[in-house]
A and B are shown apart, each in its own frame.
Chain A
Amino acid sequence: MMRTIEILLVIIIITGAFIIASIYAVLPSPRQVSPINLRRLALTTLQTLDVDYDLSETMFKSSDDPAWGQLQIAVSACLPPNIVFNLTVYDVMSGGTQLYTMYKSISNAESLGIESDAASYLVASSNVTFNVTPERIGEHGGGGTLYILNCSDANGWWITGYTAQKLAEDLYNLLSPYFQAAIMVQTTTQLGQILNGTALQGETLQNAVVINTFGETVPIPAGYYSSSGVGYDATHSSYAMYCYRLGQRVRQYNWTWASIVGWPLYYVSNTATFSSRQNDWGIYGMVKVREPGLQAFLQGIDNQAYSYENSQTGSPGVVYLSSGAQYYCNYYGIYPSPYQTSTRALSASTMASYHLSVTTYIFNQVGDWIPGAVYRHAVSGGLMALGLTRTPDIRLTALGLLCDYKPRLYRSEYSAAGTSRLVILQLGQVGGV
Chain B
Amino acid sequence: MAGATIDHLISVTVFLGAILLFISLFNQTIQTAIVYQRHRYLATKCSDLLDNMLLSPGNPLDWGKQNGTPTSFGLQDPEFTQYRLSPFSLMRLNYSEGAPVYYSKTGQWYSNLTMGFGQSLLVPFTEAINYSTAAKLLGINGTYGFSLTITPIITVSISEIQPNPLKLAVNVKGAGFPLANANISYCFITVEATGGEQSYPSYTTDYGTNCTDEQGASVLSFPGFDGTQESYVLIAYAHMSGLVGVGYHEYLRYYENYVVPFISDFATRTVLIAHSWDVHGGDSPAEISYNATFVLLTEDFTLREVPLDNSTGRVGKINYGEGKPYMGITIPTYNPGLLVITYRKSAQESGVVLMPWGISSMGFPVSFGGNSFEMEWVTTDTRQVLVNGIAYQAMLALWSLEGYQVIS
Contacts and interface: CB of A to CB of B under 8 A. Distances in A.
Interface stretch (B126-134, B235-243, B325-333): B235-243
Interface stretch (B56-64, B193-201, B315-323, B381-389): B381-389
Residue with the greatest number of chain A CB neighbours at <10 A, chosen from B83, B176, B380: B176
B255 interface: no
Contact of A37 (B241, B242, B243, B381): B381
A64 interface: no
Interface residues of B, number: 50
Residue with the greatest number of chain A CB neighbours at <10 A, chosen from B15, B18, B43, B243: B243
A55 B242 contact: yes
A231 to B, nearest CB: 54
A14 B175 CA distance: 53
Interface in B17-53: 18, 22, 25-26, 29, 32-33, 36, 39-40, 42-43, 47, 51
A272 to B, nearest CB: 52
Contacts of A41: 382-384
A334 B386 CA distance: 30
B25 A18 contact: yes
B240 A70 contact: yes
A65 interface: no
Interface in B242-272: 242-243
Given A35-B43, A48-B386, A77 B176 contact: yes
18 contacts: A1-B3, A3-B7, A4-B10, A7-B15, A18-B25, A32-B40, A34-B40, A34-B42, A34-B377, A40-B51, A47-B82, A48-B384, A71-B241, A73-B174, A73-B241, A74-B242, A76-B177, A77-B176
A422 B243 CA distance: 21
Interface stretch (A19-27, A145-153, A175-183, A373-381): A19-27
Contacts of B391: 48, 51, 78
B179 to A, nearest CB: 5
B379 interface: yes
A76 B176 contact: yes
A40 B382 CA distance: 8
A78 B240 contact: no
Given A21-B29, A33-B36, A37-B47, 18 more contacts: A1-B3, A3-B8, A4-B10, A10-B18, A27-B32, A28-B40, A33-B39, A34-B42, A40-B51, A44-B83, A45-B384, A51-B242, A51-B386, A73-B174, A73-B179, A74-B179, A77-B175, A79-B176
A44 B32 CA distance: 34
Contact of B241 (A15, A74, A83): A74
Interface string A295-336: 000000000000000000000000000000000000000000
Interface in B208-237: none
Nearest to B8: A3
Nearest to B398: A34
Contact of B33 (A8, A18, A27, A37): A27
A58 B32 CA distance: 49
Interface in A328-384: none
Nearest to A82: B176
B313 interface: no
Interface in A58-76: 58, 67, 70-71, 73-74, 76
Given A33-B36, A49-B242, A22 B153 contact: no
Given A35-B43, A51-B386, A14 B243 contact: no
A135 interface: no
A81 interface: yes
A432 interface: no
B179 A77 contact: yes
List 7 A-B pairs, minimum CB-CB distance, nearest first.
Answer: A77-B174, A74-B241, A3-B11, A81-B176, A76-B177, A44-B384, A49-B242
B180 interface: yes
A216 to B, nearest CB: 37
Interface of B: 3, 7-8, 10-11, 14-15, 18, 22, 25-26, 29, 32-33, 36, 39-40, 42-43, 47, 51, 82-83, 153-154, 173-181, 240-243, 377, 379-386, 389, 391, 393
B272 to A, nearest CB: 34
Main secondary structure of the interface of B (DSSP, over half): mixed
Interface string A149-167: 0000000000000000000
Contacts of B82: 47
Contacts of A1: 3, 7
B237 to A, nearest CB: 13
A278 B120 CA distance: 70
B238 to A, nearest CB: 10
B177 A73 contact: yes
A114 interface: no
Interface residues of A, number: 48
A32 B18 CA distance: 34
A54 interface: yes
A77 B36 contact: no
B242 A80 contact: no
Contacts of A54: 241-242
B242 A50 contact: yes
A15 B33 CA distance: 20
Nearest to B38: A33
B190 to A, nearest CB: 31
A36 interface: yes
B325 to A, nearest CB: 44
A78 B174 contact: yes
Given A18-B25, A34-B43, A55 B14 contact: no
A77 B43 contact: no
A139 B381 CA distance: 54
A81 B176 CA distance: 5
A433 interface: no
Residue with the greatest number of chain B CB neighbours at <10 A, chosen from A7, A32, A52, A74: A74
Residue with the greatest number of chain A CB neighbours at <10 A, chosen from B10, B154, B384: B384
Contacts of B389: 51-52
Nearest to B391: A48
Given A6-B11, A44-B383, A47-B83, A33 B43 contact: yes
B14 A73 contact: no
A2 interface: yes
A98 to B, nearest CB: 30
Given A34-B40, A47-B82, A48-B391, A73 B180 contact: yes
